[in-house]
Chain A
Amino acid sequence: MDGYAGKILRIDLSKEEILKEPLSEKMCDEFIGGRGFVAKTLYEELPPDTDPFDKDNLFIIATGPLSGHFLPASGKTHFGSKSPATGGYADSNMGGHFGPALKYAGYDMAVIIGKTKTPSYLFIEDDTIEIRSAKAYWGKGSLTCEEMMKKDLGEEFQILTIGPAGENLVKFACISHDFGRQAGRTGIGAVLGSKNIKAIAVRGTGSIPVNDVEKAYAKGKDAFEKVSQKPGFKGWTPEGTAGITDWVNEIGAFPAKNFQTSHIDHGHMINGKKIIERLKITDKGCYCCPTPCGKYGHTKTALGSAYMEGPEFETISLFGGSCMLKTIEEVAYANFLCDELGIDTISGASVAAFAIECFEKGIISADDIGKKVEFSDLESIVYLLNLMSLRQNDLGDLLAQGVKIASENIGNGSEKFAIHVKGLEWTGYECRNAPSMMLAYMTADIGAHHNRAWVLGHDVVGSATNVHDLISAGAGSDKRPKAIVSGKDSAKFVIDSQHTRPAFDLLGCCRLQMMELGFEVENYAELYTVITGKKMTWDDLLKISEKIWNLTRMISAREIKDFGRNLDYPPVRFYEEPTPSGPNKGHCISLKELDELLDAYYGARGWDKNGIPTKKTLDRVGLKHMI
């Protein structure tokens, strides 16, 4: 089947069974790949009510039809499971080189179940699949483990690892790869840890069949050329995602002190320019990426120095804003520590900020924590990151559950400033004056993550605009009026984005050339067509994307008790505490306005008042025979 490697790898760790089965053309046509394969497989194969850490939970690795091909940024790898963080549908993806290597080895997808008796790693080299002892690697940091395995196996192997946090089942443990790429969200690394799998190494030497090699190559070259002509090619790339830091801060959407407010005064000390000045050694690109957002460098702080990739914008906003670290070197050091411990920087920083606010408010004590902690103090942040990742005391055990469960146990009003949706910590955009982006977070299927829909530009300029143009235009006034909440408009913006951005996750390539530079979406449909030989328009892809959006909602509805509208609200802080300072001082979105947003969104999607897809909608989107 052109475009695809053609096989699914199935591994039962308990039975030590390894099967290779042909990929079905029907599955490819109906679910495309990547996130679509994850959703379909989870819905059909995950036993309902399985505990995320039960051996029966699935760990899925999926690529897409464009993964590994000659086109811009074809290196995305998708992971899927039942989420330890939310108990619902989970996927998380990463860049790097792993997915293409898996395809070259002959596999579009791997489905892993069961649990090994002892710490192990998976070895995949073309047809050779082995479950090997990880005794030498267990307990090592993610980065250290990758370095050791590269030495042991060879530079040509692509390796993913988990850190001590994944081994310790921390619910926001991540997967690490290529010394700085992570599948960070939903606790997917802890699922691998629960299966006693420390790492997966893959090397592939085979080719992927293509409908017309010469046409596909010419089309790929044309795509690279078009991307290189975009103004953002030279303007956006040097700083990467960190280049948006100043703009987000200036519009008052920057999380500060655990989202107490939305603007910081030290933004100029932690922005993209500072990465170039103080940290960067080299740009570090994912597979076939012409616009590498990865900035690899070295940081030196009073607590230590380290080589690390990043920080990217989200890490800057959470550690530099929510935790209030004042220099890019300190943000980078916290970034490094999260990478080595194997936790998501977004959730890790958010949990640390939550703990500090609890301490400042007298809800938890220095005895509970083990020391006094404060914002803007690297020593406090490093202490807390170790505490939660290594579960060093009772509070560390609690923090390892994420802010939702921690706040439910700690109580005393801490639930109001536990910044999450559905149990997944909120990413780097404060939304008390950004109704569309607020709705995007509320309705994201994995919890409060921005990668499903990014509509902050709509909130600021009223329409879809690529990031490079937004940054270039600047933030405008330093005082912003309260945004007018229009449920109908916000629902449209969010739904459009929720279909567009995840479509890239089906194809197996990165969306940033589209999102940041404005590379037109139609190019991807044309690439799909020339590679697979199957006619596909972008609108066709959007319809499949909508189907999968409904399917992932149904997975969470099945897996989470009392799932529905009640889980689509943001933290109380966002609708009861007007922003105390900065460009959006005095603004917040009321509970009534949030309900207007949800009603409009559910209505536009064809979901009932509780946010569950109706039978009519499931029929319309093509899930009639599945659900």
Chain B
Amino acid sequence: MNLIFNHENCSGCGICKLACSIVNFKQITPARALLRIEGLFPAPGHYQIHFCDQCGICAEVCPVEAIELENGVYRINEEECIACRECVEACPQSVMMIQSENDMPAKCILCGECATVCPRQAIMISEEENVAGGQ
């Protein structure tokens, strides 16, 4: 599967971010979300969703090769990760987070919950195969 983002449908409500945090971390806070919504106000006056497109830069910069490609999704192997944060800093969308309880980075694993809860089809699930590398 893959995700489709319709930025013009986004109203900035943040339901997606809260759902992401709850489903992935059991945390009631959008601060843990693995996507961002940027409000471009006052001008031009709309929202931009920043999301992980599985571009793989995080894997490229990882000094211990702890980020691995599995079925089109880059996943962090926490047993290998040394928590150096290089991946977080390199993420071009700034959508990787540090988990405060264990200092480990986290990234989108394409669970699709953000799309499931979006009431405006700003994020939708596509059944097309994800092509890692952001293509």
Contact = CB atoms under 8 A, between A and B. Distances in A.
B11 A207 contact: no
A217 B23 contact: yes
Contact of B41 (A209, A283, A296): A296
Given A221-B117, A290-B15, A282 B8 contact: yes
A219 to B, nearest CB: 12
Contact of A104 (B13, B31, B45, B47): B31
A147 B41 CA distance: 8
B13 A287 contact: yes
B11 A288 contact: no
B55 interface: no
B38 A155 contact: yes
B134 interface: no
B71 interface: no
Contacts of B14: 97, 287-288
A282 B39 CA distance: 11
A311 to B, nearest CB: 15
A104 B117 CA distance: 21
B28 A283 contact: no
Nearest to A291: B119
Contacts of B29: 68, 104, 204-208
**In the complex, which of the residues A69, A208, A217 has the most CB atoms of chain B within 10 Å of its own CB atom?**
A217
A62 interface: no
Interface in A552-599: none
B22 interface: yes
B29 to A, nearest CB: 5
Interface string B45-56: 111000000000
A354 interface: no
A178 B46 CA distance: 12
A290 B11 CA distance: 9
A204 B31 contact: yes
Contacts of B31: 104, 204-206
Contacts of B100: 205
A13 B39 CA distance: 32
Q: How large is the interface on A (under 10, 10 to 19, 20 to 34, 35 or more residues)?
A: 35 or more
B16 to A, nearest CB: 10
A449 interface: no
A220 to B, nearest CB: 9
Given A68-B28, A213-B28, A281-B45, A155 B39 contact: yes
Nearest to A288: B15
A7 to B, nearest CB: 15
Interface in B41-88: 41-47
Contact of B119 (A208, A217, A228, A297): A228
Nearest to B37: A155
Contact of A147 (B12, B21, B42): B42
B27 interface: yes
A254 B119 CA distance: 33
**In the complex, which of the residues A221, A282, A288, A307 has the most CB atoms of chain B within 10 Å of its own CB atom?**
A282
A566 to B, nearest CB: 45
Contacts of B19: 70, 217
Contacts of A179: 39, 41-42
A210 interface: yes
Contacts of B42: 143, 147, 179, 307-308
Contact of B13 (A290, A296, A298, A308): A290
A360 B100 CA distance: 65
A107 to B, nearest CB: 14
A96 to B, nearest CB: 10
A217 B22 CA distance: 8
A228 B28 CA distance: 23
B5 to A, nearest CB: 15
Interface in A274-303: 281-292, 294, 296-298
A288 B41 contact: no
A307 B43 contact: yes
B45 A282 contact: yes
A289 B28 contact: no
A143 B21 CA distance: 30
A224 interface: yes
Contacts of A298: 45
A155 B40 CA distance: 9
Contacts of B114: none
B18 interface: yes
B113 to A, nearest CB: 10
Contacts of B119: 224, 228, 290-291
B99 to A, nearest CB: 12
A179 B11 CA distance: 13
Nearest to B28: A208
Given A204-B31, A224-B119, A213 B22 contact: yes
A296 B12 CA distance: 12
A281 B44 contact: yes
B23 A289 contact: no
Interface of A: 68-70, 97, 100, 104, 143, 147, 155, 178-179, 204-210, 213, 217, 221, 224, 228, 281-292, 294, 296-298, 307-308
The 9 closest A-B pairs by CB, nearest first: A285-B11, A285-B13, A290-B119, A205-B31, A207-B27, A179-B41, A307-B42, A208-B28, A292-B11
11 contacts: A97-B14, A205-B31, A207-B32, A213-B22, A213-B28, A285-B12, A291-B119, A294-B11, A296-B45, A297-B45, A307-B45
Given A69-B28, A281-B45, A290-B120, 13 more contacts: A147-B41, A178-B41, A207-B28, A207-B29, A207-B32, A209-B28, A217-B22, A221-B117, A224-B15, A282-B10, A283-B11, A296-B45, A307-B42
